[in-house]
A and B are shown apart, each in its own frame.
Chain A
Amino acid sequence: MDKFTTITGIAAPMPLINIDTDMIIPKQFLKTIKRSGLGVNLFDEMRYDDDGNERPDFVLNKPQYRESEILVAGDNFGCGSSREHAPWAIKDFGIRCVIAPSFADIFFNNCFKNGILPIALPQEAVDVLMKDAEKGANARMTVDLEAQTVTTSDGESFSFEIDPFKKHCLLEGLDDIGLTMEKVSAIDSYEARTAQQRPWV
């Protein structure tokens, strides 16, 4: 998995609440058997009209936001379906960090498996970051995972919380399965124990 340390980049503002994973990547793109290539269809139904032409007023279609690496959004980002195609599409587009007041649980977890950093900050802080993002390509935001801070283009800084284990995995680009495999003896003994206690499982 790609490591995540620090990024300084353009942040796209999406001041909508309840952005669900159907919006992030509609179901017609779930028919792939690959992980890559979903970036062009990120936010497909908001981004393109019925004939497949770009809607010029959608944020990621605006020239100043085409290279966005950060997304700033409203409450409950990523709710709905568990599809990991949502973080795959976000990553494939080039976005490595999503900032919102809150995230839906499964989406939040899925981000970490794909080298994306989801940052939950209080509404007031997100409001400041949203304003900064609205300045466009000249305003570059910095996300520093080691220091756990987000800094606006004006130098205003906010600290965020993150689970230490998740932080470690992201910084080092660690693969969960590899880590768990190191504990295989614990799984073996769990299975042996419960085969006695709950043989019907």
Chain B
Amino acid sequence: MSPKTLYDKIWDAHVAHEDEDGTTLLYIDRHLVHEVTSPQAFEGLRMTNRTVRAPDKTIAVPDHNVPTTLDRVDGIDNEESRIQVEALDRNSRDFGIHYYPVSDVRQGIVHIVGPEQGWTLPGMTVVCGDSHTATHGAFGALAHGIGTSEVEHVLATQTLIQKKSKNMKVEITGKLRPGVTAKDITLSVIGETGTAGGTGYVIEYCGEAIRDLSMEGRMTVCNMAIEGGARAGLIAPDEITFEYCKGRPHAPKGAQWEAAMAWWKTLYSDDDAHWDKVITIKGEDIAPVVTWGTSPEDVLPITATVPDPSDFNGGKVGAVQRSLEYMGLTPGTPLSAIEIDTVFIGSCTNGRIEDLRAAAEILRGKKIKDGMRAMVVPGSGLVRAQAEEEGLADIFKEAGFEWRLAGCSMCLAMNPDQLSPGERCAATSNRNFEGRQGRGGRTHLLSPAMAAAAAVTGHLTDVRELM
């Protein structure tokens, strides 16, 4: 048998039909659904008298629109948001799919709930009408975002029309230095490849620095594969993966667990498999990084200065000019001199327990800068509960952070958590686009520990100085 990559193996196991030109019906094992990208798909089913083919493989949770303040039990004020969440309630009930309503402690960001509940497992195909579906690739599952028409297609047929992508290997060798995290890895890779560098590819992340990461860290890395333009990110499953999955509510048990393990252990790229592109980065070369612009590729070590448009070529010159103007930054300014007024810790990139631990570690016994608005939005109700049990919530509250309920919150500001024009935010989320966190808002992406450090000092800060 010819050698295969991990991507080849998962793909081959899910081909339900293949045309001569390679157009494939790929079978989908898990379909995750949220309230923003699904109403039109369910409406489409109703209009054509179609049903959900595999309701037991379809899981829905509202996350984008939901308020994260404690008073949300009283209902959602914003009428349009309420209608969207109510539509998901109704669609889940009508079509008989698994559902975690706002009132359920297991509710949270769809990409955190899926793995937490054991819906996401190695070797699966996972889709969701959301670009950060890439997150689930951390389990060695082929996972990617789809549009609403495709959501409808998967609901109706449990398949997706696909052509195979190219395959890129991103190897992070050796060990990370202290203060450097999974977020710094994934941002640094995008800094290296650019936001279009992964277009047309499925990326497999490998190497010692990746192997050393926890599942939480691996999810952070894969989460941002889409920011590099890739269709999906993958990490081969290993003992760390199996350990994480074991005992989760929807993970297999007993003999089925053994059978699953036997297959999962074959899920790795063969030694002499073919790669269309290979990128290697030394773990020790990665520094704690922040973004300075309005594209995730605008990333530099915290020790650097704001770049000059003339440092770039082609279309990027104009783009940098535009983003510096939007961000209100002057070339040559040290990044660590940039003052901020808001700190957001949360999102499907960094809203897991390990992220909260890392931030709390920096905040222990400290207070946030006077006048700073700082919030922690746990990725799920269960993350929140665990953080309370571990005493992390108290550390955040004593430092001056708001301690919120689970949801997407200020990652995309569809709920009331938004920046005002000109406000500058240190955010652990994944997108620094213009207006992403509120019209005119300015976003700097960084790791949870770096966000905590910035909350304390009031400006972007090298976390290593506080360690």
Contacts and interface: CB of A to CB of B under 8 A. Distances in A.
B434 interface: yes
B36 A177 contact: no
B34 to A, nearest CB: 11
B87 A187 contact: no
A194 B40 CA distance: 31
B319 A106 contact: no
A79 B163 contact: no
Interface string B368-410: 0000000000000000000000000000000000000000000
Q: How large is the interface on B (under 10, 10 to 19, 20 to 34, 35 or more residues)?
A: 35 or more
A191 B29 CA distance: 10
Contacts of B223: none
Contacts of B158: 187, 191
B206 interface: no
A153 interface: no
Interface in B404-437: 412-414, 421, 431, 433-436
A23 B434 contact: yes
Given A31-B414, A79-B229, A186-B25, A105 B80 contact: no
A181 B155 CA distance: 12
Given A23-B433, A82-B145, A183-B17, A200 B153 contact: no
B146 A106 contact: yes
A45 B229 contact: no
Given A31-B80, A76-B195, A104-B199, A180 B157 contact: yes
Given A109-B147, A180-B153, A187-B25, A75 B259 contact: no
A165 B19 contact: yes
Contacts of A164: 21
Q: How large is the interface on A (under 10, 10 to 19, 20 to 34, 35 or more residues)?
A: 35 or more
Contacts of A27: 412-414, 436
Interface in B65-98: 65, 78, 80-81, 83-84, 87
Contacts of A34: 40, 43
Given A50-B421, A104-B229, A33 B196 contact: no
Residue of B21, B199, B200, B251 with most chain A CB atoms under a 10 A cut-off = B199
B337 interface: no
B50 A177 contact: yes
B235 to A, nearest CB: 20
B211 interface: no
Contacts of B17: 183, 186-187, 190
Interface in A142-201: 163-165, 176-177, 179-181, 183-184, 186-187, 190-191, 194, 198-201
Nearest to A109: B147
A186 B25 CA distance: 9
A18 B39 contact: no
B256 to A, nearest CB: 5
Interface stretch (B124-132, B278-286, B338-346, B356-364): B124-132
Contacts of B48: 177
B43 A33 contact: yes
Residue of B130, B131, B145 with most chain A CB atoms under a 10 A cut-off = B131
B152 interface: yes
Interface string A103-143: 11110011001100000000000000000000000000000
Contacts of A102: 196, 199
A35 B42 CA distance: 12
Interface in B227-270: 229, 231, 251-252, 256-257, 259-260, 263
B83 A82 contact: no
Nearest to B45: A177
A186 B259 CA distance: 25
Contacts of B64: 30
Nearest to B298: A18
A34 B83 CA distance: 12
B84 A33 contact: yes
A187 B16 contact: yes
A17 B439 CA distance: 20
Given A79-B196, A102-B196, A177-B153, 8 more contacts: A34-B40, A50-B421, A83-B37, A177-B48, A179-B161, A180-B157, A183-B17, A187-B27
27 contacts: A22-B435, A33-B39, A45-B439, A76-B195, A76-B196, A76-B229, A81-B412, A84-B40, A84-B148, A102-B196, A102-B199, A104-B199, A105-B199, A106-B145, A109-B146, A113-B149, A114-B149, A163-B21, A176-B153, A177-B50, A180-B157, A180-B159, A181-B157, A187-B53, A198-B13, A198-B259, A199-B252
